[in-house]
Amino acid sequence: MAAVLLVLGFTAAAGTQAWRDSATFDEPVYLSAGTAALLQHDVTLNPEHPPLFKAIAALSVLFTHPASPAVARTADEWTYSASFLRAQVAAGTWHRVVFAGRLVPIGEALLCAWLIFLLGRRFVGASAGLLAATLWLSAPLVIGLGHLDGVDLPFAVTTLATALALVHWLGNRTRRHLIVVGLAVGTAVASQLTGLLLVAFVSVWVLRSERTWRRGIGSATLVIVLAWLTLWCSYLVLNPAQSLHAEWALPTPFVTGIRFLSTNDSLSGVGYLLGHFWTGGRWWYWPISLLIKTAIPTFIAIVAGAVLWRRVPKDRRAGALGVVLLPIVVLTLPLLADPRDIGVRYLLPQFALLTVAAAPVVLVCRARIGRAFLATGVAGALGAGALSIPHSLSYSSAPFSPAYRNLSDSSVDWGQDLGLLQSWAVGKTSYVSYFGPRGTSAADVPGASELVGVPPAQVTGWVAVSATNLNSNARASLGWLRKYCPIQTLGGTILIYHFSAPPTNDPGPALPPGVCAQ
């Protein structure tokens, strides 16, 4: 019964926000690319390959009968996604299309919970699996990202599936279980290029786990071949013509995607955290961001779980090391050198594995005080998730609230509150700086003019600014605005000001102030 209530609660929370939230920055790209792959068999539009899970998420979109503009030869993902967005707006289908595209991700988040439960049950027991799944489904981070169409949640699903398949193989060592491992890790590659890291890790782990080098090499080779075949199938099912185009024995669009990301991801981006702004990457951005976005009870459970693994039988601890801890390290190390610190969503697979790592916390139930501790922690985690609704994406743990002061981009403000901004702006004349998808701007807000580029001496009346623009994307040009406290926020992401007299052009502090005291 507890599991049913948990699933229903998450579905209601995620579904409500899927309906009310406006399209986030990347969603028009994924929606348009997935729809084009299904309807026009074009898998080259989105250079961020692979296309499989974008197409899967777009399956439910087809029931809304979306407008599907023809893909021009010179089209790129940004221009096409903007034209796709405008075509839906003109047809009056945009809201339905966005909501439909979020139904599959909600199912993927629930699938993650089931896989987390199975892993926790395998290592510690059924109650431990339920605890781990509860920490996942109650996390504001998961509720906030779990209702959005993106590439990080599918990779979390396939990472967990790979971990579970590897656990079963380690316990049985049959060829059938090894085939499942190869198919699972192949699906991970078909969800995100980072899956190549999992292929390398799983192959090495299988190699060293066999009794002889000869058998190990054969098993590792089988995993790699199955992963390769799975990747090819993910392209052929969308565009059979790809069977005629290969490079390095891989689908040509996949190799093109590798080149694109190796170039694009090497470009330095802007980062912001806790009042610090920089260009390039900072290794500490990732652990601190995850700390800020994790509810305190969940964080305590993860730390306590790490300590309590010593109570788990030794053979199970060894298995957990290979399928929980090491994959976290393998997937995180490249991020520490990433020059684009643009959001904790990149850590969603790692967070899923960390909830599994918290599973041994149930072992404290052997004592009365332990049961009280566990009940309090679970209640706190559930409470944090409930209190984050209906703005779970902009949640931050209590010591770092409000989130807009300490975070930017997809960790807090990804453009999800355009609808709130449009409703607020009715009947007003305002200056607006909105951060959202290509194809949206201040022009989409009633009575609004673009704020960026306007001298402060000319600004009076209402001003609305996205936290991402204030903290990072337009930080220099909006620096003067950080001297002033907003009178309110919309969804915790859009800051509202009112100036009865023009503000000065003096630069403000690094950290924006909280909401004005009433």
Cα-based torsion angle of the residue sequence 315, 320, 325, 331 in order, rounded to the nearest 10 degrees: 130
In the predicted model, what is the mean pLDDT of residues 482-495? 96
Mean pLDDT score of the chain, rounded to an integer?
92
> How confident is the model at residue 445, as a pLDDT?
96
Please tell me the distance from the alpha carbon of residue 130 to that of residue 118, in angstroms, as a whole number.
Answer: 9
pLDDT of residue 501 exceeding 80? yes
Supply the DSSP string of 131-192, one letter for each residue.
Answer: HHHHHHHH-HHHHHHTTS--SHHHHHHHHHHHHHHHHHHHHH--HHHHHHHHHHHHHHHTT-
Residues 6+ apart with CB under 8 A from 354: 302, 328
Strand 461-466 with 430-433, pairing: parallel
pLDDT tens, residue by residue, 365-383: 777 787 888 889 999 999 9
Instruction: Name which of 276-285, 438-447, 494-503 the model is least confident about.
Output: 438-447
> How confident is the model at residue 206, as a pLDDT?
95
430-433 β-sheet, strand order: 448-450, 430-433, 461-466, 494-499, 488-490
pLDDT of residue 315 exceeding 90? no
- Delimit the domains of the chain by residue range: 2-104, 417-499
pLDDT of residue 95 exceeding 90? yes
pLDDT tens, residue by residue, 429-452: 999 999 999 888 888 999 999 999
> How confident is the model at residue 266, as a pLDDT?
66
> How confident is the model at residue 243, as a pLDDT?
60
Residue 272: φ, ψ to 5°: -145, 135
> How confident is the model at residue 263, as a pLDDT?
76
Task: Give the Cβ contact number of residue 157 at 10 Å.
Answer: 25
Residue 244: pLDDT band with limits 50, 70, 90:
low
Please tell me the distance from the alpha carbon of residue 284 to that of residue 307, in angstroms, as a whole number.
Answer: 23
The answer to whether the beta carbons of residues 98 and 27 sit under 8 Å apart is yes
The answer to whether the beta carbons of residues 418 and 22 sit under 8 Å apart is yes
pLDDT of residue 104 exceeding 90? yes
> How confident is the model at residue 316, as a pLDDT?
87
The single residue listed with the structure tokens 């701007």 is 441
> How confident is the model at residue 498, as a pLDDT?
96
Percentage of the chain exceeding pLDDT 70: 98
pLDDT tens, residue by residue, 289-302: 999 999 999 999 99
Which residue has better confidence, 428 or 337?
A: 428
Which residue has better confidence, 1 or 516?
A: 516
What angle, 0 to 180 degrees and rounded to 10, lies between the N-to-C axes of helices 195-209 and 326-336?
A: 140
Residues 6+ apart with CB under 8 A from 211: none
Using a cut of 0.85, tell me whether the model's pTM lies above it: yes
pLDDT tens, residue by residue, 45-81: 777 789 999 999 999 999 999 988 887 665 677 888 8
Residue 136: pLDDT band with limits 50, 70, 90:
very high
